[in-house]
């Protein structure tokens, strides 16, 4: 039930110790500098646990940091269901995503972090992330903030991940005082991008995520302790040790912590009851309402986040018709969020303060070209100058464990290769791996000259299985002549979820219906078509493209220690032997996007 509890207001206090502001990583998307920018001219005031009344009487709680000065200022709202007590500590935890508060406030902005209903110290009953009630609450808080004596009425939003995904939904509510948003790393499809991967439950994320978030809701730290901690925790060697401990123990966490009951009931609902897409997920997703966004949007992502947020940036780019920019930065998984703050400042200085920063003159699309390690720009995404090229899978022999071929023409004769689908966690003799292949590998011949591959990747496979259902994971990498591997892209699909939703597919993603599973007929080939995450990579002379295909996400993965945010999950559903067909009437192929300005000279086997 909603609560009307009111606490004694906390009076604002000048900060003797403010949170340490430490910017790390890329700060601007591209090789540019703002023409004007807000300068660090203010000390900070802190008002912890301020009461924020909703129209139904529920009291939310938030932490307000604002300039210690007379006058009114634009406000940046950070919204989520995570505890506020850890946000300004400098701890490198994957919930600390509200940005560098001291950097923002010193430059003439109010920073307001608010807990959703029933989370942290906020009143009311908690609901699953991004519910329609939560979306309305965000809009109501935006209008409340605009009316406060410290606000000039111009509101933006700030934060990555959860704090970014909610920005799309808030903007679609069209609160009058929300003037612009800056969602960095925010998914747009709750089912496809977050909870399920190709139809398989994203357990490797949700088990530790719900455990940690549900166990830390009532953590309480006074602001002074948080701010002091930021000077200790924001040291590189300490952050490295904490990050290593956290991510090396993420699979132990669900067995050792004790989350609140509501979080476990929601986990059970997602894992056991809401297995397919439909109204439950769609009303909590941004993609159906992106066209309702009418304010300027700066969409940001990076190449390190294929497992959760990357696709959301491209879907937002296609779905939003308001003024917009898109940037895709280099792989950079890190917490607390501390990159692209100069880009964010330039965005809000222009749209909330009216400063001529030059941000509106930047190219529509800016992207980091891996391999060349530089920024490039384009007028749209996918790049207008790119063209698709098919690389057909072909077997070099009948030995599945060998590296096979990717070539420009489909093989004339039909051939096949088999691999084992062993469910993650299934007990089997280790010796079996000497005699049974779980991953098929395909390689192009070396590129004869530098070639830029930038844009969507799509895989079509003709596959048969001995089971009623199986799972496919694909991984694409750049291989140097010395054998060094740089991972670029991932894709996945549960075979029974193979039905394509033609109406909602778009240039960067083949969208599947995920509504009614269609079992395989054991032994009978079926066509699977699915997207891999987009990429931008310069294949240098002599390098090869490698495609790996298997069924176990834990074998074809990349961790935070490889520079990626990607979690394993429960797949395949059954033990099986899968057979992949090449050539003839059942050609399997990988479709890549090659820039026309970079002609493809690939010595492909015929």
What is the Cα–Cα distance from 379 to 297, expressed in whole angstroms?
16
Site of tokens 């002599």: 542
What is the Cα–Cα distance from 329 to 191, expressed in whole angstroms?
25
Cβ atoms 193, 312 nearer than 8 A: yes
What is the Cα–Cα distance from 497 to 468, expressed in whole angstroms?
12
DSSP 8-state class, residue 580: E
What is the Cα–Cα distance from 584 to 591, expressed in whole angstroms?
18
Cβ atoms 508, 311 nearer than 8 A: yes
Residues 124-154: tens digit of each pLDDT:
999 999 999 999 999 999 999 999 999 999 9
Q: Quick check: helix, strand or coil at residue 204?
A: helix
What is the Cα–Cα distance from 153 to 392, expressed in whole angstroms?
57
Enumerate the CATH 2.60.120.260 domain ranges in the chain, comma separated: 386-595
What is the Cα–Cα distance from 480 to 545, expressed in whole angstroms?
9
Strand ranges in 408-484 using DSSP code E only, listed in sequence order: 415-421, 439-443, 451-465, 471-479
Residues 221-266: tens digit of each pLDDT:
999 999 999 999 888 888 888 888 888 887 888 888 999 999 999 9
Strand ranges in 54-202 using DSSP code E only, listed in sequence order: 59-67, 73-80, 110-115, 151-157, 196-197, 200-201
CA atoms within a 13 Å half-sphere pointing along the CA-CB vector of 73: 25
> Which is higher by pLDDT, 202 or 248?
202
Radius of gyration of the chain (CA): 25
Q: Quick check: helix, strand or coil at residue 397?
A: coil
SS3 content of the chain, % helix, strand, coil (to 5): 20, 30, 50
What is the Cα–Cα distance from 348 to 154, expressed in whole angstroms?
10
Residues 100-129: tens digit of each pLDDT:
999 999 999 999 999 999 999 999 999 999
How many C-beta atoms surround the C-beta of residue 229 within 10 A?
Answer: 18
Name residue 298's beta-bridge partners. Answer: 325
Q: What is the DSSP string of 299-335?
A: EEEETT-TTTTHHHHHHHHHH--SSEEEEEE-----S
How many C-beta atoms surround the C-beta of residue 495 within 10 A?
Answer: 29
Kindly report which listed range (65-69, 414-418, 504-508, 525-529) carries the lowest average pLDDT score.
504-508
Residues 365-397: tens digit of each pLDDT:
999 999 999 999 999 999 999 999 999 999 999
Specify the pTM. Answer: 0.95
Domain spanning 386-595: CATH 2.60.120.260: yes
What pLDDT does 421 receive?
98
Strand ranges in 183-243 using DSSP code E only, listed in sequence order: 196-197, 200-201
Q: Residue 258 burial (CB < 10 Å; 0-12/13-18/19+)?
A: exposed
Q: Residue 240 burial (CB < 10 Å; 0-12/13-18/19+)?
A: exposed
Q: Quick check: helix, strand or coil at residue 166?
A: helix
What pLDDT does 254 receive?
85
Residues 520-568: tens digit of each pLDDT:
999 999 999 999 999 999 999 999 999 999 999 999 988 888 888 888 8
Residues 455-513: tens digit of each pLDDT:
999 999 999 999 999 999 999 999 999 999 999 999 999 999 999 999 999 888 999 99
Residue 49, pLDDT > 70, answer: yes
What pLDDT does 498 receive?
98
Task: Identify the CATH assignment for 13-359 out of 3.40.50.300, 3.40.50.1820, 3.90.1720.10, 3.40.50.150.
Answer: 3.40.50.1820
What pLDDT does 603 receive?
46
Enumerate the CATH 3.40.50.1820 domain ranges in the chain, comma separated: 13-359
Residue 605, pLDDT > 70, answer: no
pLDDT band at 597 (very low <50, low <70, confident <90, very high): low
Indicate the average pLDDT of the chain.
93
């Amino acid at each position: 039930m909603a609560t009307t509890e009111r606490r004694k207001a906390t009076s604002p206090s000048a900060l003797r110790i403010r949170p340490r502001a430490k910017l790390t990583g890329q700060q601007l998307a591209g090789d540019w500098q703002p023409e004007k920018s807000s300068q660090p001219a203010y000390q900070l005031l802190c008002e912890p646990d301020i009461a924020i009344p909703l129209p139904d009487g529920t009291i939310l709680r938030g932490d307000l940091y604002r300039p210690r000065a007379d006058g009114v200022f634009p406000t940046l709202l950070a919204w989520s269901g995570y505890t506020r007590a850890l946000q300004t500590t400098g701890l490198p935890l994957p919930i600390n995503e509200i940005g560098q508060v001291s950097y923002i406030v010193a430059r003439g902005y109010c920073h307001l972090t608010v807990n959703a209903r029933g989370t942290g110290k906020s009143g009311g009953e908690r609901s699953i992330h991004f519910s329609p009630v939560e979306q309305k609450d965000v809009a109501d808080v935006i209008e409340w903030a605009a009316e406060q004596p410290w606000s000039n009425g111009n509101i933006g939003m700030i934060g990555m991940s959860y704090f970014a995904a909610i920005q799309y939904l808030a903007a679609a509510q069209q609160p009058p005082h929300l003037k612009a948003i800056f969602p960095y790393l925010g998914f747009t499809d709750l089912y496809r991008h977050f909870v399920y991967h190709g139809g398989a439950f994203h357990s490797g994320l949700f088990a530790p995520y719900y455990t940690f978030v549900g166990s830390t809701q009532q953590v309480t730290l006074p602001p002074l302790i948080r701010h002091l901690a930021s000077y200790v925790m924001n040291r590189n060697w300490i952050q490295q040790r904490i990050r290593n401990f956290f991510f090396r123990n993420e699979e132990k966490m669900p067995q050792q912590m004790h989350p609140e009951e509501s979080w476990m009931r929601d986990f059970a609902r997602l894992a056991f009851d809401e297995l397919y897409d439909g109204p439950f997920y769609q009303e909590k997703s941004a993609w159906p309402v992106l066209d309702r966004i009418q304010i300027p949007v700066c969409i940001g992502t990076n190449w390190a986040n294929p497992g959760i947020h990357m696709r959301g940036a491209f879907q937002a780019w296609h779905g939003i018709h308001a003024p917009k920019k898109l940037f895709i930065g280099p792989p950079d998984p890190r917490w607390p969020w501390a990159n692209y703050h100069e880009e964010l400042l330039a965005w809000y200085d222009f749209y909330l303060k009216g400063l001529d920063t030059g941000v509106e003159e930047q190219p529509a699309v800016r992207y980091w070209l891996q391999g060349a390690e530089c920024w490039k720009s384009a007028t749209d995404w996918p790049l207008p100058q790119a063209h698709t090229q098919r690389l057909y899978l072909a077997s070099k022999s009948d030995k599945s464990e060998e590296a096979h071929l990717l070539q420009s023409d489909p093989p004339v004769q039909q051939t096949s290769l088999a691999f084992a689908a062993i469910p993650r966690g299934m007990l089997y003799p280790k010796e079996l791996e000497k005699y049974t292949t779980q991953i098929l590998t395909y390689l192009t011949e070396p590129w004869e000259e530098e070639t830029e591959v930038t844009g969507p990747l799509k895989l079509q496979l003709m596959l048969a299985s001995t089971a009623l259902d199986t799972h496919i994971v694909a991984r694409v990498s750049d291989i140097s002549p010395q054998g060094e591997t740089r991972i670029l892209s991932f894709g996945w699909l549960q075979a029974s979820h193979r039905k394509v939703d033609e109406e909602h597919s778009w240039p960067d993603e083949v969208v599947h219906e995920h509504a009614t599973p269609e079992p395989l007929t054991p032994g009978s080939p079926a066509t699977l078509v699915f997207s891999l995450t987009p990429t931008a990579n310069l294949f240098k002379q002599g390098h090869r493209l490698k495609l790996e295909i298997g069924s176990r996400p834990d074998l074809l993965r990349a961790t935070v220690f490889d520079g990626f945010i990607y979690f394993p999950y429960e797949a395949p559903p059954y033990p099986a032997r899968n057979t992949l067909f090449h050539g003839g009437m059942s050609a399997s192929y990988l479709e890549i996007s090659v820039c026309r300005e970079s002609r493809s000279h690939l010595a492909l086997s015929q």
